[in-house]
Structure 1
Amino acid sequence: MTRSAPDILCIGSVLWDVIGRSPASMRIGSDVPGRIVRLPGGVALNVAMTLARLGLSPALLSVLGRDAAGDELMQEAGALGIETGFIYRSDDLPTDAYMAIEGAGGLVAAIADAHSLERAGARILAPLSDGRLGTPEAPWAGPVVLDGNLTEALLREIAASPLFARADLRVAPASPGKATRLQALMGHPSATLYVNLEEAGSLALTPFDTAAEAARALVARGVARVLVTDGGRPAALATPGLCLERTPPEVLVARVTGAGDTFMAAHVVADLAGADPAASLEAALLAAAAHVSGDRDP
């Protein structure tokens, strides 16, 4: 049963993160002691969790299997104040999962199994056309977070769809390897892209040395607004005619998974509250620093 209308929609991956963390430096073949945790995750859910913590009422559009893992995720997300009533529950697709190894130097390796999301395709968008959240004639007119785990074909469909004609799109790749999928939205007039330096290079098909260089180049290629992060080095926000740089706070890195999603959510909240570009960028960097330092719940 759904509650009142949400403030923002988060469309994309909702899955279980299985993350192994060790303070040791690792290479291929390393076998080290550490901790293994299982947490609700996926870009859409990670962003939604931060949005809910910061006072918004997000709703998820995604796919979960009718399995124990899906039931648990529904319960976990609902308990955090996230609307789950629009999620497509599949009888034949399992709940997706993500597995990562983090060591002293950060992320060592990760595998994202988002095959169910990819196979569900446009079925997850049904609430935007059947009247629950909108129709082609009266489309959703609020902010929408889009996750790069969606297929390139679906992102292209979204870019041209009347269902998103009035939406404020906030778009993030799931990984550098999936960043090129966002090319479908590079010329969209209401799309804001959130990428790290490597993802920016993948999207532009050229490497960059700094976040500011990458941000300017993406705007020159038609992106309406972009935020580029680069770990502990300066991040940048750019629009046509504007490029801002800010340096993240120095912190000890305790974890990295979910940092980009936290950055994105904090920027969205500050931006929607009316903060100016510099203040919204600074708020996002502070939130991401708190996340990677372990000041938030793991």
Structure 2
Amino acid sequence: MKDTPDILCIGSVLWDVIGRSASVMRQGSDVPGRITRLPGGVALNIAMTLTRFGLTPALLTAIGRDAEGDELIAACAARGMNTDCVYRSDDLPTDVYMAVEGANGLIAAIADAHSLEAAGAKILRPLSDGRLARTGAPWDGPVALDGNLTLSLLSEIARSPLLAEADLRVAPASPGKAERLLPFVQSGRGTLYVNLEEAGLLCQTRFTGSRDAAAGLLARGASRVLVTDGGADATEGRPDGSLTRTPPQVLVTRVTGAGDTFMAAHIAAERDSAAPDDALAMALDAAASYVSGETAL
């Protein structure tokens, strides 16, 4: 593993407990299926995809100093991620995400990221103590940031000199946390990766398609956005124009982590100097491969 990471992944690193069934489900459904427990969290999902593109990501997160945390750290290191800068807490448990998916998509999910929220700015210490950067010599590479952090910490990051020179890429983690990204919209900071619902929440309206959603976010002050809409068109929006592509049509076998895969693949494509249209196409292809089950977990 390289000593210097290619990208920082800041946010949730936890255990994903996912129940999946081939049946169509509704509230109260009790059906057969499979339950898996795998390393997950938005920051980790992005990092895992980046390693498949040959990059070495460093994780900035909070993980408990418990048996689950030790196992999670080992799993991350085994997958090619740099865990040297992870904040290990003696009194906070390792976080967990739990979801239920049916043939008709995500039924329900609960993200218990309370330890990450409680750790707060402690996870950013490596950006000022010399391990990754220091005051006067900030990190100037790419950063993937997720919205599982608190609104106050995200607001601080949006204006922090520690990341003022970074290529900041931001995802909301879930529709329920989409409005935590408002500081980045208002400050015109970073590239935002959102789905159609999340774009609507940030703009306090409802959009009918990704192109309208991208335009709405730009009008609110965002500097650059990528808006996905499941199997429908996805759009990259910039002040100088927009780009829309239709993703490949595939049989959907899973949905948790699809947006993270899209974001990571797009970052990797641009790092390899792909043209905007090619980068968007590569990201959509990677997400389609993931939801179809072709990409291994």
TM-score (norm. length: structure 2): 0.98
The amino acid of 1:229's aligned partner reads T
> In structure 2, what is the equivalent of residue 167 of structure 1?
166
Q: What does residue range 13-52 of structure 1 map to in structure 2 within 5 Å?
A: 13-52=12-51
**Structure 2 counterparts to residues 279-298 of structure 1, below 5 A:** 279-298=278-297
The answer on whether the counterparts of 1:64 and 1:94 sit within 8 Å (CA) in structure 2 is yes
Instruction: Tell me the residue number matched to 2:5.
Output: 6
Aligned to 1:125: 124
| Separation (CA, whole Å) in 1 of partners of 2:141 and 2:180 | 23
Question: Which structure 1 residue ranges, 4+ long, deviate > 6 Å from structure 2?
Answer: none
What does 1:100-139 align with in structure 2 at a 5 Å threshold?
Answer: 100-139=99-138
Distance 1:278 1:132 in 2: 36
Q: What is the alpha-carbon distance in structure 1 between the residues aligned to residue 295 and residue 2 of structure 2?
A: 27
* Alignment partners' CA distance in 2, 1:94 and 1:177: 23
Contact 2:142 2:166 in 1 (8 A): yes
Q: Does 1:94 align with 2:93?
A: yes
**Is the 1:167–1:190 contact (alpha carbons within 8 Å) kept by the matching residues of 2?**
no
Question: Equivalent residue for 2:267?
Answer: 268
Distance in 2 (CA, whole Å) between partners of 1:99 and 1:148 is 17
Q: Kindly indicate whether the alpha-carbon contact (under 8 Å) linking 1:187 and 1:224 is maintained by their aligned counterparts in 2.
A: no
Tell me: CA distance 1:189–1:201, structure 2 relative to 1, closer, same or farther (3 Å): closer
Letter in 1 for 2:34: R
Counterpart amino acid of residue 201 in structure 1 = G
Q: Tell me if structure 1 keeps the 8 A contact 2:289–2:295.
A: yes
> What is the aligned partner in structure 2 of residue 57 from structure 1?
56
Output the CA distance in 2 between the equivalents of 1:236 and 1:4.
Answer: 36
What TM-score do the two structures reach when normalised by structure 1?
A: 0.98
How far the C-alpha of 1:271 sits from its partner, in A, is 1.0
Q: Which residue of 2 aligns with 1:198?
A: 197
Matched, 1:228 2:227: yes
CA contact (8 A) 2:158 2:189 kept: no
Question: Is the CA contact 2:252–2:291 (under 8 Å) kept in the aligned structure 1?
Answer: yes
Alpha-carbon distance in 2 for matches of 1:12, 1:93: 16
Partner of 1:211: 210
Whole-Å separation in 1 of the counterparts to 2:45 and 2:292: 17
Deviations 1:241-289 (A, max 9, x none): 2111100100000000000000000000011111111111100000000
SS of the residue corresponding to residue 228 of structure 1 reads strand
Q: Partner of 1:153 in structure 2?
A: 152
Q: Name which of structure 1's ranges 214-223 and 250-259 shifts more when overlaid on structure 2.
A: 214-223
Task: Note the C-alpha offset of 1:190.
Answer: 4.8
Q: Which residue identity is paired with 1:192?
A: T
- In 2: Cα distance, 1:225 partner to 1:71 partner: 38
Q: 1:253 — aligned with what?
A: 252
SS at match of 2:173: coil
- Tell me which moved more, 182-191 or 43-52: 182-191
SS of structure 1 residue aligned to 2:250: coil
Q: Which residue identity is paired with 2:114?
A: H
- Is contact 2:42–2:173 with CA below 8 Å preserved after alignment? yes
Give how far 1:62 is off.
Answer: 0.2
Q: Which residue of 1 aligns with 2:79?
A: 80
TM-fit CA distance, 1:136 = 1.9
Report the AA paired with residue 32 of structure 1: V
CA deviation profile, 1:179-218 (whole Å, cap 9, x unmatched): 0000011144550000000000011111100000000111
Counting aligned pairs with the same residue, the percent is 66
Cα shift at 1:124: 0.2
219-228 or 258-267, which deviates more: 219-228
Partner SS for 1:186 = helix
Native 8 Å contact 2:243 2:277 kept in 1:
yes
SS of the counterpart of 2:91?
coil
Secondary structure of the 1:18 match is: strand
The SS at the match of 1:198 is helix
Q: How many correspondences in the alignment? A: 297
For 1:79 and 1:22, the matched residues in 2 are separated by 29
CA–CA distance in structure 1, aligned partners of residues 186 and 254 of structure 2 = 34
Instruction: Report if the CA contact (8 A) 1:168-1:190 is conserved.
Output: no
Q: Tell me, yes or no, if the aligned pair for 2:13 and 2:63 is still in contact at 8 Å.
A: yes
